[in-house]
């Protein structure tokens, strides 16, 4: 058991829309991620995707509506729902799920891959 420093873990990420596992509990992975710009439209057929904004603002575009999240807010994208996270300025957030990225790139745009 070790405590996790969220600011340090977020600062260590070297690419936008990349993710790092920082913990595991009750069969779920806990990941940190940073975003800037937008991801590709994608969905996860096998799981929900939970976004918890730590710092900044994150927009979750759905085909039917747009959700604005600020620091301290949470949103669950249900399994099978197409979505595209985006951020006009750098944002740090936490993701929860059984295996957050069920597609190889998880919607990560090609320009942000290392």
Q: Name residues whose C-beta falls within 8 Å of residue 14's C-beta, 6 or more positions apart in sequence.
A: 114
How is residue 110 annotated by DSSP?
A: G
Chain-centroid distance, C-alpha 4: 18
Confidence at residue 101, expressed as pLDDT on a 0 to 100 scale: 54
Low-confidence ranges of the chain (pLDDT < 50): none
Give the CATH number of domain 6-101; options: 2.60.40.10, 2.60.120.10, 3.90.940.20, 3.40.640.10: 2.60.120.10
Token pair 């759905």 is at which residue?
A: 62
Confidence at residue 99, expressed as pLDDT on a 0 to 100 scale: 63
For the entire predicted model, the pTM comes to 0.85
Please report, for the chain, the start and end positions of each structural domain, with discontinuous segments joined by +: 6-101
80-101 pLDDT, tens digit each? 999 999 999 999 999 998 865 5
């Amino acid at each position: 058991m070790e405590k996790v420093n969220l600011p340090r873990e977020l600062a260590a990420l070297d690419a936008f829309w990349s993710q790092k596992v920082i913990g595991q509990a009750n069969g779920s992975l806990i990941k940190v991620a940073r975003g800037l710009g937008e991801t590709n439209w994608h969905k996860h057929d096998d799981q929900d995707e939970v976004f918890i904004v730590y710092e900044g603002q994150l927009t979750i575009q759905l085909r039917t509506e747009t959700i604005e999240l600020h620091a301290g807010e949470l949103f669950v994208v249900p399994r099978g729902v197409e979505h595209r996270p985006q951020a006009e300025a750098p944002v740090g957030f936490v993701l929860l799920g059984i295996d957050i990225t069920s597609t190889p790139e998880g919607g990560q745009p090609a320009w942000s891959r290392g």
